[in-house]
């Protein structure tokens, strides 16, 4: 495969680093939902953002099964309808896997614009499941969360790809 112009050749991702980032995103979600802004509908979902990132960059390591597992853990923690987040995260990872080859050819800001509809569809699906189970409409601020997640995409890309960018043994003859 020919590398797009200006892209750096990356080292393989460490599976332990991927697991660590997913657990840290889960813990960030847990901390946000235990804080004072726990009922704010505009709060971005850090775990969904991390799942989509790894489904795009490492689709063989992180897929629908991993997303389903973390969705069940989120459902249990939030005492929500069992399977609500599992369904949402599974659909989110499936949609990310559908576009992962095409998405990597774009620049990071363009990628953010292309994952915005995926995040919006996931939040709409979660809202539909919540409303069908009898919950009240959380307000129009829920439509701000996908935009915040898309804005966070470039930052997440830089932070999560940083360990793969360092050269294993750089010297004068091997600059890669």
Tens digits of residue pLDDT in 70-90: 999 999 998 888 889 999 999
pLDDT of residue 139: 83
pTM for the full predicted model: 0.87
CA 168/CA 171 separation, integer angstroms: 10
Token pair, residue 128, equals 């539909």
pLDDT of residue 65: 95
CA 22/CA 35 separation, integer angstroms: 20
Asked whether residue 168 carries a pLDDT value surpassing 60, the answer given is: no
Asked whether residue 1 carries a pLDDT value surpassing 70, the answer given is: no
pLDDT of residue 87: 95
Cβ 149 vs Cβ 120: under 8 Å: no
Asked whether residue 37 carries a pLDDT value surpassing 80, the answer given is: no
Asked whether residue 107 carries a pLDDT value surpassing 60, the answer given is: yes
């Amino acid at each position: 495969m020919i590398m797009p112009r200006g892209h750096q050749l990356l080292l393989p991702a460490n599976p332990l680093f991927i697991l660590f980032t997913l657990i840290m995103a889960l813990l960030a979600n847990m901390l946000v939902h235990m804080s004072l802004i726990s009922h704010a509908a505009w709060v971005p979902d850090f775990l969904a953002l991390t799942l989509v990132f790894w489904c795009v960059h490492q689709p063989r390591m992180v897929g629908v099964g991993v997303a389903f597992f973390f969705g069940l853990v989120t459902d249990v923690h939030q005492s929500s309808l069992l399977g609500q987040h599992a369904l949402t995260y599974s659909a989110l990872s499936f949609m990310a896997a559908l576009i992962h080859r095409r998405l990597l050819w774009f620049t990071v800001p363009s990628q953010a614009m292309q994952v915005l509809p995926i995040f919006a569809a996931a939040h709409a699906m979660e809202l539909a499941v919540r409303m069908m189970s009898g919950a009240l409409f959380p307000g129009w601020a829920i439509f701000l969360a996908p935009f915040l997640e898309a804005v966070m995409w470039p930052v997440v890309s830089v932070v999560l790809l940083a360990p793969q960018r360092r050269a294993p043994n750089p010297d004068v003859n091997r600059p890669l």
